[in-house]
């Protein structure tokens, strides 16, 4: 592993000076490196089917309903805790990957099934489904390009306190609710307006209103019944169940390069156990996902086998990934230009992607 | 507009597409089933990505970049972030060759 530093101060907003900088440097909407894959093999990997997602969503819903029912049944006793622990993780940490895959439209072959799960998971995650659909499209166009990517979780210098508080949604949940309320009021701030075309904005406002109406209703029921239980079942799990997502998801890009046009350098593949891969729907194969977003989650392990000769060696475990991330992030507190550059294998494809000539 | 001899029918697998570059423009030629062929612009209307790397599912082409979808028969965008329609062009098969009528 080689560690590199280079000088630069950053502004991560989508409308600040870094936006212009990204365009000027040919980083916005550029061509990215992709490990070549034979078209026949790729077609096989991209193939859509309803079955794996039907099975996995059924298990997920059954766990949600079962653990939620346990939490309700034992509410008021310590026995509720293990049920709510499982419920929270299913509600928030597992919903993120369902949101993600169905947002790409790859989980199911049948379109409406993707759409239904996407809307449901967006609600659980407190995300406006329209805003985040466009935000995630941009994340794929300009992955970790400062001034363009709205989904950079590991800004530099790192906000360690915020990252830690967000293990329990302490900052993210109020932020998410405020963002939804703003949309519900018909407001799309400049960063969101930069992402969403005019024609989609009304839809974003409508979604904001629906989400906020449900939360207000649940809060009202909680108040009326003088019990926290309704909020513990709807809303609060986004806070108390999100920690596992951060443990699994932050390594996707944390500590890696900004402003490069090669996902092998700015993304990380981490090997995980089958249980974590079920919760995370194989998003641990993150370089592979970014290179070929059309490959459904269930085919990512196979894609990994096809392209791994051209990728940095994957981190063999989450523990291993965090062991390299934590010292890097701590150093970034003093030196925000510091990052980890993964070592490409010998004979790996050359990193010479074509830069864009788009203008802002 | 002239009919252009684009390729042999067997050059395109069923439920697949190929890219055709002609007079400085890029087109996508689809073979759905047997001799059912279509032709559209070759670049996605969202961010100008080559559709030739995408996936044909029934009568839709899915863009390889953000999974936007178009109906290859009409060019209509059916899944965002693709919002604008693709231009379509007449296509047919004659004597085992795919002919497209493009500018
Ligand atoms: S480039 Fe085709 S959907 Fe975005």
Residue A144 is predicted with a pLDDT of 97
Q: State mean pLDDT over B47-76.
A: 96
CA distance B87 to chain A (A): 20
Give the separation between CA A210 and CA A177, rounded to whole angstroms: 12
Query: What pLDDT, in 10s, does the model give residues A109-126?
Result: 999 999 999 999 999 999
In this prediction, residue A357 has a pLDDT band, given cuts at 50, 70 and 90, of low
Please report, rounded to a whole number, the percentage of residues in chain B having pLDDT higher than 90: 95
Q: What's the CATH number where B37 sits?
A: 2.102.10.10
Please report, rounded to a whole number, the percentage of residues in chain A having pLDDT higher than 70: 95
| Domain span holding position B94 | 3-101
Q: State mean pLDDT over A222-243.
A: 98
How many structural domains is chain B composed of? 1
User: What are φ and ψ of residue B9, in 5° steps?
Assistant: -55, -40
Degrees (nearest 5) of the Cα angle A60, A65, A71? 125
Residue A203 Cα to ligand 1 middle (Å): 20
Residue A7 is predicted with a pLDDT of 43
Three-state helix/strand/coil letters over chain A: CEEEECCCCCCCCCCCHHHHHHHHCCCCCCCCCCCCCCHHHHHHHHCCCCHHHHHHHHHHHHHHHHHHHHHHHCCCCCCHHHHHHHHHHHHHHHHHHHHHHHHHCCCCCCHHHHHHHHHHHHHHCCCCHHHHHHHHHHHHHCCCCCCCCCCCCCCCCCCHHHHHHHHHCCCHHHHHHHHHHHHHCCCCCHHHHHHCCHHHHHHHHHHHHHHHHHHHHHHHHHHHHCCCHHHHHCCCHHHHCCHHHHHHHHHHCCCCCCCCCCHHHHCCEECCCHHHHHHHCCCCEHHHHHHCCCCCHHHHHHHHHHHHHHCCCCECCHHHHHHHHHHHHHHHHHCCCEEEECCCCCCCCCCCCCCCCCCC
Contact B100 CB / ligand 1 (< 6 Å):
no
Report whether pLDDT(B58) > 50: yes
Give the separation between CA A101 and CA A115, rounded to whole angstroms: 10
Residue A360 is predicted with a pLDDT of 57
Instruction: Measure CB to CB from residue A46 to each of B46, B55, B66 and give the nearest one.
Output: B55
Residue B48 is predicted with a pLDDT of 92
Q: State mean pLDDT over A1-28.
A: 78
Query: What pLDDT, in 10s, does the model give residues A132-181?
Result: 999 999 999 999 999 999 999 999 999 999 999 999 999 999 999 999 99
In this prediction, residue A5 has a pLDDT band, given cuts at 50, 70 and 90, of very low
B contact test, residue of A114, A137, A145, A357 with most B CBs within 10 A: A137
Query: What pLDDT, in 10s, does the model give residues B20-42?
Result: 999 999 999 999 999 999 999 99
Q: State mean pLDDT over A294-302.
A: 97
Query: Which chain A residues in 20-79 lie under 8 Å from chain B, judged by CB atoms?
Result: 29, 43, 46, 48
Yes or no, beta carbons of B81 and A294 under 8 Å apart: no
Query: What pLDDT, in 10s, does the model give residues A16-28?
Result: 999 999 999 999 9
In this prediction, residue A2 has a pLDDT band, given cuts at 50, 70 and 90, of very low
Query: What pLDDT, in 10s, does the model give residues A73-102?
Result: 999 999 999 999 999 999 999 999 999 999
| Nearest residue in chain B measured CA to CA from A109 | B57
In this prediction, residue B1 has a pLDDT band, given cuts at 50, 70 and 90, of confident
Residue A356 is predicted with a pLDDT of 61
Residue A127 is predicted with a pLDDT of 98
A contact test, residue of B44, B53, B67 with most A CBs within 10 A: B67
Residue B103 is predicted with a pLDDT of 87
Yes or no, beta carbons of B66 and A109 under 8 Å apart: no
Q: State mean pLDDT over B50-69.
A: 96
B59 preceded by a cis bond (ω within 30 of 0): no
Q: Is the dihedral of CA A95, A101, A106, A107 positive or negative?
A: negative
Yes or no, beta carbons of A200 and B80 under 8 Å apart: yes
Mean pLDDT for chain A overall: 94
């Amino acid at each position: 592993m080689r560690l590199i530093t280079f000088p630069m101060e950053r502004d991560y907003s989508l409308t600040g000076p870094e936006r212009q900088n990204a365009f000027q440097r040919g980083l916005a909407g550029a061509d990215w490196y992709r490990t070549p894959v034979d078209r026949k093999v790729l077609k096989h990997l991209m193939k859509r089917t309803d079955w794996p997602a039907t099975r996995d969503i059924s298990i997920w819903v059954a766990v949600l309903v079962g653990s939620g029912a346990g939490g309700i049944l034992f509410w008021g006793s310590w026995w509720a805790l293990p049920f709510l622990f499982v419920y929270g993780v299913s509600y928030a940490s597992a919903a993120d990957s369902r949101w993600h895959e169905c947002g790409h439209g790859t989980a199911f072959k049948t379109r409406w099934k993707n759409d239904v799960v996407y809307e449901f998971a967006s609600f659980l995650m407190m995300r406006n489904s329209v805003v985040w659909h466009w935000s995630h499209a941009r994340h794929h166009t300009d992955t970790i390009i400062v001034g363009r990517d709205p989904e950079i979780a590991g800004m530099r210098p790192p906000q360690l306190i915020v990252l830690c508080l967000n293990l329990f949604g302490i900052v993210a949940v109020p932020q998410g609710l405020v963002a939804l309320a703003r949309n519900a009021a018909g407001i799309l701030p400049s960063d969101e307006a930069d992402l969403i075309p005019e024609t989609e904005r009304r839809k974003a406002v409508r979604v904001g209103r629906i989400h906020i109406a449900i939360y207000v209703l649940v809060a009202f029921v909680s108040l009326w019944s003088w019990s926290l239980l309704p909020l513990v079942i709807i809303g609060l799990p986004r806070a108390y169940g999100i920690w596992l997502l951060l443990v699994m998801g932050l390594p996707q890009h944390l500590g890696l390069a900004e402003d490069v046009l090669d996902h092998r350098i700015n993304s990380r593949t981490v090997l995980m156990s089958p249980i974590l891969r079920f919760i995370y729907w194989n998003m641990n194969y993150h370089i592979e996902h970014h290179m070929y977003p059309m490959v459904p989650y269930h085919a990512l392990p196979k894609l990994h086998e096809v392209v791994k000769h051209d990728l940095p060696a994957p981190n063999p475990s989450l523990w291993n990934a965090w062991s390299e991330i934590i010292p890097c992030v701590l150093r970034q507190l003093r030196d925000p230009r510091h990052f980890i550059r993964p070592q490409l294998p010998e004979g790996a494809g050359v990193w010479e992607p074509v830069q864009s000539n788009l203008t802002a | 507009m002239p009919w252009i001899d684009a390729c042999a029918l067997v050059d395109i697998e069923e439920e697949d597409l190929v890219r055709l570059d002609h007079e400085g423009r890029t087109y996508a030629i689809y073979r759905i089933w047997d001799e059912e062929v279509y032709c559209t612009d070759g670049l996605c209307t969202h961010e100008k990505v080559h559709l030739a790397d995408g996936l044909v599912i029934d009568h839709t082409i899915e863009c390889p970049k953000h999974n936007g979808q178009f109906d290859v028969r009409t060019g209509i965008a059916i899944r965002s972030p693709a919002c604008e329609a693709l231009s379509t062009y007449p296509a047919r098969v004659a004597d085992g060759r795919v002919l497209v009528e493009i500018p």
